[in-house]
Structure 1
Amino acid sequence: LETAVPVDQRPATQLKELREAQLYSWAVLETQAYLNRLGVLFLGSFALLGGPIAYQTFDPLKQTAEFFLSGAVGAGFVVSLAVLRIYLGWSYVGDRLLSAAVAYEETGWYDGQTFVKPPEVLTRDRLLGTYEVKPALSRLKTTLLGTGGVLLLSGSLLFGLIASSADTDGVYGRGAARTPRIVSNEGIIYSKNVKSLQDLRGDDTAAAEEAEAQGG
């Protein structure tokens, strides 16, 4: 019934390829397996991308919340992109399954044709589209809404922390100005463990602490 359409361009074949593809098959995994894949992708993205980028701005020991929120935003964005890609693939095949006619190319040389499905093929394809593709798309939509909400919340919290703790120039994180602890005629002291500039002259430990407090 579909002999006019090349095998690899038939909607039912394309659906089979989605089920077997390493990434696109996530849409039809069992719920726990699906969540596990998303979790592994999130953690991997945090470790390899979000975390290292966040580290350039935030000190994990001193700005722990900001560091993790920033890294989580980056990792969550990667997860969202992956889910969006899966969604677009399933949506494309779903549209072809539910449609009464599908476009195809006979030889690949831009000789586009349209195949009108016979009733038997249309019934089969619409059953596949309704009972297999639509549930997968519903799951992916829910995931996109969830990741979008988490990104929005994390971004808002991060923005609030940055806005409330930025220096007078609006800079925050590793590049922000240090706040002096003591300002006197002798000079400025930043370290909490140094009481006067006299302490720095004969105490290498105090000098090192002061240098660290100044960001040196």
Structure 2
Amino acid sequence: MPGPSAICNRSTLLCVKALGSNDRDGRNGSNGVDGWDPAFEIEVPADQRPANELAALKEEALYSWAQLSWIDFGVRLGSLWLLFFVFLGAPIASASFEPSREPLRFALAGGAGSLFAVAIIVLRLYLGWSYVGNRLLSAVVPYEETGWYDGQLWVKPPEVLARDRLLGAYQVKPVMNRLKQTLIGAAALLVTATASLFLLVPQDKDTVAVFTSKSSAGALAADSKVALRKKDLLNLPVDVLDDDELAAAAAAAANGRPVYCTDRYYRALAGASSLFY
């Protein structure tokens, strides 16, 4: 009885043999033993057959990254992250955190944003491979004869179903597992970077002191401005003068002019002519 490794090797050879006999143009071998019977898939357009979709996916410049070794795949993702950091993450992060004064926050913010962009691309790779994998493993697949309006369902013959499931199990599932692990790792790094960034912001006492001093100074300036304006608000009613909020609102509405100039009654009361305002 053959061992598991022999069975796996045999299944892989069957996959390669099936792909080799069924090329992407839909032209099948004429040999009845080694070739692939054209009647199996003749009703489905060549570019919509799951095996051909897998072959096309492997030739895509971006989707082919998922087939590489872990080292090559990591190098490409790292280069992509560096590209996003230089042209996207760093400029946006520098607007909130100055690199020379807050290098840690700048690095966390820019790195998290760039990592999020890379995670979106990895998610797109996962969805593309998942789509082809589902069509390979499914016994019934939809296809379009000429357009979206004449969609049909194709029930795979047993020979085609066995071949497609071998391809899905030995060529697509390992790639999907790798992409899934990459997404989980990216999500963990994003959560860690975001949590670190939020934990660092409120613990900076200097920043809190600066904001507090600025707010206190602003409040004192506002109070002194209201007090100064109260003396200059010539003919406001007493109830308005006694209310700081109303006096401040009246002064703001006057936009630097005496408040009586914004009301016809107070203009007349002050003896000001409406022709000059």
CA–CA distance in 2 between the matches of 1:83 and 1:150? Answer: 14
CA–CA distance in 2 between the matches of 1:117 and 1:84? Answer: 29
Unaligned runs of 5+ in 2: 1-39, 215-277
| Alignment pair present for 1:2 and 2:41 | yes
1:73 is aligned with what amino acid? A
CA–CA distance in 2 between the matches of 1:6 and 1:124? Answer: 18
1:80 is aligned with what amino acid? A
Aligned to 2:117: 78
Query: How many correspondences in the alignment?
Result: 175
State which of 147, 163, 167 in structure 1 corresponds to 2:202: 163
CA–CA distance in 1 between the matches of 2:163 and 2:126? Answer: 22
Percent identical residues = 52
Flag as ranges the 4+ runs of structure 1 deviating above 6 A: none
**What secondary structure sits across from 2:101 in the alignment?**
coil
Aligned to 1:110: 149
CA–CA distance in 2 between the matches of 1:16 and 1:142? Answer: 23
Aligned to 1:100: 139
CA–CA distance in 1 between the matches of 2:59 and 2:106? Answer: 38
TM-score, scaled to structure 2: 0.60
| Alignment pair present for 1:48 and 2:90 | no
The answer to whether the 8 A contact 2:202-2:208 is kept is no
State which of 167, 171, 179 in structure 2 corresponds to 1:140: 179
Normalized per residue, which structure has more helix?
A: 2
CA–CA distance in 2 between the matches of 1:102 and 1:9? Answer: 10
State which of 61, 64, 84 in structure 2 corresponds to 1:22: 61
Larger RCO: 1 or 2 (CA < 8 Å, sep 6+): 1
Aligned to 1:69: 108
State which of 39, 57, 79 in structure 1 corresponds to 2:96: 57
CA–CA distance in 2 between the matches of 1:109 and 1:45? Answer: 37
Unaligned runs of 5+ in 1: 170-175, 181-216
Superposed counterparts of 1:173-212, under 5 Å:
177=211
**What secondary structure sits across from 2:149 in the alignment?**
coil
Instruction: Quote how far apart the aligned CAs of 1:165 are.
Output: 2.0
**What secondary structure sits across from 1:163 in the alignment?**
coil
Aligned to 1:185: none
- Return the index of the structure with the highest Cα Rg: 2
1:38 is aligned with what amino acid? L
1:69 to 1:19, Cα distance in 2 relative to 1, 3 A: same
**What secondary structure sits across from 2:201 in the alignment?**
helix
**What secondary structure sits across from 1:164 in the alignment?**
coil
